[in-house]
Chain A
Amino acid sequence: MNASLGNLGDRLTGHLHKYAVAMVLVVICVFLSITTTTFLTTGNLTNVLLQVSMIGIIAMGMTMLLVSGNFDLSVGGIVAFVGVVAAKTVNSSGLAVGIIVGIALGLGLGAVNGFIVTRLRVNSLVATLGSGLAFSGFALLVANSSPISLQSAGLRELVKTEWLGVTMPVFVFAAAILTAAWFLHFTVGGREIYAVGANADAARYAGVSIDRVRFLPFVITGGLCALASLILVGQLNTALPEAASTWPLQVIAAVVVGGVSVAGGRGTIFMAVVGVLLIGVVNNGFNLENLDVNYQSIFTGAIIIAAVALDAFLGKRAALVASRAAEARDVEVGPRATVDTRAAAGTDQLRVGNDTPARPPTSLGQ
């Protein structure tokens, strides 16, 4: 059947739903390119990427967590704790050992979160709120409540390393994006994360080990926090025990703005990246337009709510369109189906003559 106007509108709604936030990002970029002379310069754009890189790296893990149906509010605590431990280790045992210890600690703290949620059955919001507080406390304890300066410039130089005008953190961010997209969208484990988030019962019925699937994103997020923490320490040349306290909400805001569902089962790495960039570009825009920073929080807050509201609205429409199509298909296929099934099943009790009027085939939904 022909793609009628109604059909086209329905399809448009589907695409709108997928790319609404990306279009908002494009609009803001175009607006800033026109109203300022500085936005569309290599220097400024690489600066934006650098600024969002740490939040962005953690956002990749947070996306997996949200898709699996969990949260992590402890990412700030992990970043601070890993930072001071890594800085101390770098000072005492050298750069390589410091990096390895930092990443191992990040993975370990993520595993602690995973254990609390999947084994002790504590709601992830509460579990990571608690563990985040504890991690921050450990950070202060280990650092004796004062900043730890790096005694060698090794980490700082590593973080400042530039290639094609782009610094190391941006490359790490890019690598995190690619790896996360590969894992979440192209591997068996990624698909199981979606299954558990979309319908845990269905996953259980199919023999998926729910706990194992839910555990992994916590560990991945912990490791990514460690990477971000090392970048932060390198940039400042110092580990601050009270660093990153606002990061958990910043990361979740970016991911949610992008369109990743807090209800689990829906959302992509692409969406999360768009969300991260959107927050970065908005912050950059406020600087370039010389606006009062206080408006920035208000605007960002409004964008978060608007994005989620838009998502809910378009999602509802898309669901409506889909259910209508499904129903229409049911009606269309139904009568034929009953006849064909009997024929296929080969029951002699229900013989059907050839005179059963067949309906013309339909292309609906194919």
Chain B
Amino acid sequence: MTDKFTPSPLFERVERVRRRKPRVRDEFITLAHGSGGKAMHELIEGLFLEYLRNPLLEKLEDQAVFEINGTPPRLAFTTDSYVVDPIFFPGGDIGELAVNGTVNDLAMSGARPLYLSAGFILEEGFAIADLKRILESMRAAANRAGVEIVTGDTKVVQKGSADKIFINTSGVGVIERPVNISASRAEAGDKVILSGTIGDHGTTIMIARGELELETEIESDTAPLNSLVEDMLDEAARLGEADAIHSLRDPTRGGVATTLNEIALSSEVCIRIYEARIPVREEVKGACEILGLDPLYVANEGKLLAVVSSGVAEALVAQMRENPYGRDACIIGEVKDEPPGIVAMVTGFGGTRIVDMLVGEQLPRIC
């Protein structure tokens, strides 16, 4: 059957506006600017990029990839700040998140993460015992991921000027393989792989805040994904298709829906996913149903989305399932030419609908 798409005038009208250069019209920063959705994109593209533009930043990837003086190897460099509330939650804490998050941002370029920095902003009165606990889990997370924290910074602010503890981590890694992974490389015919269940982290944080008096056994999925990416790259190389992995992203804030939209817009392709194939834990489904959240928009901290050549997709999934962080990996959809920039979902119910970026804020301070 044909996949020819004829855009209606309505569709064209909306797309024209959607592709307009983002502008920040707001007078103040609102929580929506940090949500990972549209407002944050406007802030990044309409403000940060305008002031700080350069060819590397312009790519708006989760990490910058460059060579020093044009000499290999290529390096990957990234930074991320962590303000999660509560700082301790089922399945992890702010320290573990801070290490894994930056490791993952490096890994998504195909890099082997090497060194991390850690900057701490501490609120006056914060318990040393809690700080010890956080540092212990940072040490364990760094060991697990095979990275070292080699430099750092500490600032203490007056009570009320920060909430307990904020952590910033930066990281460098080295890209030793002939890969070129980018959100702009998805092509028609590619398959979309998801490494496991969605929504675990965001739902855990929401419930851990205790405002809802729900009791569940959901845990955050925070995990270092560099070993999983290594396995995927090894398998692709073994198949003689080292370059078959086109895009890799970890769907954190804004969830799977927002990340897929970023890829669809950046590559000017249509991504079609099938609701029935997307794994969601029963507990997460139930909690989201009660809270009125859509798991597609809920944050993950130990999952990745990969857009790969269809020829290697099945083999990659099989390989991913051997890794503890990819046990539930599966193909959730495919890439089409048209309509470009759109993520469409065939619902479990049999209809088709657009899956747009997150608007507004679902849950603040989840990472």
**Do A and B truly interact?**
no
